[in-house]
Chains A and B, each alone.
Chain A
Amino acid sequence: MADFTYANIAREMEVYGYESMIKSHCRMCHGGCGVLVYVKNGKVAKIAGDPDCPINHGTLCSKAIGSIQLVYHPDRLTCPVKRTGPKGSGKWQQISWDEALETIAEKILQYKKSFGAESVVMGYGTGRENEAVIYRFANLLGTPNVLTAGHFCYGPRLATTIITCGSNPIVDYENHPKCIMVWGNNLVISNPDCYKGEPFSQALDAGAKLIAVDPRLTRIAARADVWLSLRPGSDTALALGMLNVIINEDLYDKDFVENHVHGWEAFVERVNQYPLSKVEQITWVPKEKIRQGAILFATTKPAAIQWGVAIEQQINCADNNRSLLALMGITGNIDARGGQVLFRAPKIRNVSRFGAHNMLPKEQVEKRLGGNRFRLAGNFAIINPKCVWDAILEEAPYPVKMLFLISSNPVMTRANARQVYRALEKVEFMVVSDFFLTPTAELADIVLPAATWLEMDYIGDFWKRHGYILPRRKVIQVGQCRSDHEMLNDLAHRVGQGEYWWETFEQGLDYILEPMGITWQEFKKMEYIRGELKYEKYKGKGFSTPTGKFELYSTLLEKWDYDPLPRFREPPESPYSTPELFQKYPYILITGRRQPGFFHSENRQLPWLRELHKDPTVEIHPEAAEKEGILEGDWVIIESPRGKVRQRAKLFAGMDPQIVSAEHAWWFPEKKDPGHGWEESNINILTDNAYKSCDPAMGATHVRTLLCRIYPEKHKGNR
């Protein structure tokens, strides 16, 4: 193969006649891969992976390549629009940026004056690395209310890791863990926060042992040495059971426990309340399997746990995370080479500093919606969505008058979609910034055309915990689209925050980089910057927690009046917590299985990606399907006590026959009416957002495990 090399840039340029190749940093998911963007006739012509990027080593996912179809999509919004008919009428009129931003500024100032800044709620979804500017804008405005996915996605990982050990421990795949326990995660498809499937795959190829914890047989579970197929929602119990084995069979790291842990005795007492016989009953995993997994994990060094969002979207959110942290900690894998590392970011102004949290007046912090109810979340500036919908609908504890949602589609992606829809219908003024007129945007007053990652300069991954920052370089301009950063920088001047912002947002990038003594223009010429790499930092100066120790017993949770130790709570709906309901809804519904090509509610309109997976699909075990009269490919109704939706049945034998697994965030951009089919297959019509079913500390909505029934949609004659 002497003549062939991967990503042969010079040959590509010559053979295809590209004008230029710009290296950049993709942002089609929460990941951030290095990419090569080839340009021809002023347009993006090809996207390939950057072999020099330490994150993805030249590999990509389908979404990165699909970006070409996103930027030039015929339905894409390319200028600001205002609604001219009633909400949901689909009547829009093009307006100038000046008119749009002046109108928005006027409304913000008017609501702030009449109802307080807290009546204006800013929000973002998972998408465009805009969290830092949005928090900055909100904090300087004086609103404590930024509505994000943070209550049940990544926010819990940050909050629980910070209170336990000071930062989020990231798997050190580069140094090849010898054992990887993948817990409720399918990272080769989802490429979640701080991770890519590629380094994981390499670590396995290098011979790592693999433990998979998942109710479903993913390919990862199929390749695993041990697959623990647990009952959905029983993760904390399983982790406590494994801890029980590790402690009572004396497999923990004595030195770490003696010198670096807070609350050992109380912790052991708690763990002893979870003997394997009890854990087997709760989790449906045989005792011997649990023991086998625990021993493999504890005796193979270094070992790491790959975790993700699935365990956070549960009533046990914080305790799921905390019990997994305990597993990482007492086995001595925290901050260990090839284990999981508290990586240091480069010395820049970090997200928290840039987000200007210290500028929010204390009396405004006190007004954070749900701040007293969900106190772990509140201390990390995170709010539970129902608090916002209630404040709009009930005007309690005070009215929310304006929503400003940036890359967020809560009609599809938040629990109890019908309540979300009612709230968005009622709110007095709503602005959305997005690529398309989504079902959420259709309810807005003004929609702003957002730039994609190919249309902006930015410091990629500067909020992450893997220790790298990478330049995202602007390649093209599409219509009048603007990045959220530039848009908010402009708007900030119009609402009187000008002194804290910049003439152009490039100076904002300079401000982030300033502590390193470089400018954006200089950084732009670099490949990436990595923070200082050091292991076992705690041995010198302890952990960045109140006790300086790894807090198995959380002094902060105790201070906020929560149980300082992890414990298992039965899911709000289950065969055990609601046996009567289970008679009527005899299946355990799990939601949110990831598909290649999609990122939550995004990308259904991109032909290359939609072709990978045309329809919303619900998996049902062949035995259950037979019982319910369901055939492969049938459209079926999934029904919970809160509503019903349709998805297409796929028979799947890789799970307990009592489980049904549905996809989330499906809408149909090809349906041109303003609803775009938001009610048809939207699994969040079935989910509940009652406060009592949320994680008591984090406010995570329990969207992953509920009860349902399922039956063929025969009347439509669709077989």
Chain B
Amino acid sequence: MTKYALIIDHTSCWGCKTCEVACKQENGIPDGIKLIDVLEDGPKIFDGKLDFIFHVNVCRHCDEPSCVESCPEEAIERRDDDIVVIDDEKCTGCLLCVEACPYDAIAFDMENNVAKKCNLCHHRVDNGLIPACADNVCLAHCIYFGDPDEIQRRINAKHLGGERNIMP
């Protein structure tokens, strides 16, 4: 079975937030809720040097997802391809998954009383399309979708300075 992951190379991120808006366009998420969130870290001292970096917070699609464990309605499922999907229809808004997520990557839609998180655009993936945020919108080319081992190889190659990272 093919495994899918969304991996972000934070050191390359410029904080342009195009991924956030690409996600909004694709998923029609209400104002105030972000399934992918570009956060500033710093400026602060790292290793004796003033540094400033962006961290993109998004569902990690964990190997052992605590959200899946926490959900009494079995509304969250880890698929065979490793994508962790939350089903709006089954969610009763108990908030247990929001509390269980160690990455603060599950948002809550108060208006509709449902938990919301990145489903890795599984509706696109199942149709042979790349998730919206990873579909080459990022000017830093730092959002990767696909097999996690392959992604890590590509990120390493990029940091060694060389790969022209246009197409997968």
Contact = CB atoms under 8 A, between A and B. Distances in A.
A219 B127 contact: no
A263 interface: no
Contacts of A5: 130, 167-168
Contacts of B31: 607, 611
B31 to A, nearest CB: 5
B43 A217 contact: yes
Interface string B139-150: 111000111001
Contact of B135 (A7, A56, A205, A207): A7
Interface string B10-43: 0011111110111011000001101000000011
A548 interface: no
Contact of A6 (B15, B158, B168): B168
Nearest to B124: A15
Central interface residue in B51, B139, B145, B167, by most chain A CB within 10 Å:
B139
A185 to B, nearest CB: 13
Given A12-B129, A46-B25, A205-B12, A654 B158 contact: no
Contact of A596 (B17, B147, B165): B17
Contacts of B34: 611
Interface string A1-20: 10111111001100100000
Given A611-B31, A611-B32, A654-B50, A219 B14 contact: yes
Interface string B65-100: 000000000000000000000000000000000000
A188 B146 contact: no
B20 A61 contact: no
Contact of B137 (A8, A60, A66, A205): A60
B52 A596 contact: no
A274 B167 CA distance: 48
A222 B40 CA distance: 13
B14 A11 contact: no
A32 interface: no
A207 B160 CA distance: 8
Contacts of B107: none
Nearest to A652: B43
Given A4-B128, A4-B129, A219-B52, A206 B140 contact: no
A51 interface: yes
A68 B22 CA distance: 12
A51 B136 contact: yes
Given A222-B52, A654-B52, A6 B135 contact: yes
Given A5-B168, A217-B43, A61 B52 contact: no
Contacts of A56: 139
B110 to A, nearest CB: 16
Interface stretch (A193-201, A512-520, A686-694): A193-201
Nearest to B135: A6
Interface residues of A, number: 51
A133 B42 CA distance: 46
A201 B158 CA distance: 12
Contacts of A57: 136, 166
B166 to A, nearest CB: 6
B163 A197 contact: no
Interface string B97-128: 00000000000000000000000000010011
A654 B139 contact: no
A218 B52 contact: yes
Contacts of B43: 217, 222, 652-654
Contacts of A196: 139
A201 B127 contact: no
Given A1-B146, A6-B168, A62-B18, A653 B50 contact: yes
B17 A59 contact: no
B107 to A, nearest CB: 13
B24 A7 contact: no
A608 B21 contact: yes
Nearest to B145: A4
Given A11-B129, A51-B136, A612 B20 contact: yes
B162 interface: yes
Contacts of A210: none
A47 interface: yes
Contact of B16 (A8, A188, A217): A188
Nearest to A188: B14
Given A189-B16, A219-B54, A654-B52, A62 B21 contact: yes
Interface in A257-302: none
Contacts of A609: 21
A206 B14 contact: no
B164 A7 contact: no
Given A12-B129, A68-B25, A7 B52 contact: no
A658 B67 CA distance: 46
A390 B94 CA distance: 64
A460 B122 CA distance: 36
B121 to A, nearest CB: 11
Interface string B55-69: 000000000000000
Given A6-B135, A46-B25, A201 B140 contact: yes
A169 B7 CA distance: 37
A4 B130 CA distance: 6
Contacts of A371: none
Contacts of A471: none
Contacts of B124: 15
Given A6-B130, A222-B51, A189 B136 contact: no
A62 B22 CA distance: 7
B161 interface: yes
A201 B161 CA distance: 12
A56 B16 CA distance: 14
Given A4-B145, A219-B54, 18 more contacts: A11-B127, A46-B25, A48-B135, A51-B136, A58-B136, A58-B137, A58-B166, A60-B22, A197-B140, A198-B141, A201-B12, A202-B164, A206-B164, A219-B15, A607-B31, A608-B25, A653-B44, A654-B42
Q: Which 10 pairs across A and B sit closest by C-beta, in order of nearness?
A: A654-B43, A207-B161, A188-B14, A6-B136, A62-B21, A222-B52, A198-B139, A1-B168, A58-B136, A59-B139
Interface of B: 12-18, 20-22, 24-25, 31-32, 34, 42-44, 50-54, 124, 127-130, 135-141, 145-147, 150, 158, 161-168
22 contacts: A8-B129, A11-B128, A48-B135, A48-B137, A49-B136, A57-B136, A58-B166, A59-B137, A61-B16, A61-B139, A62-B17, A189-B15, A201-B12, A201-B139, A205-B164, A207-B161, A219-B53, A596-B18, A612-B17, A652-B43, A653-B43, A653-B50
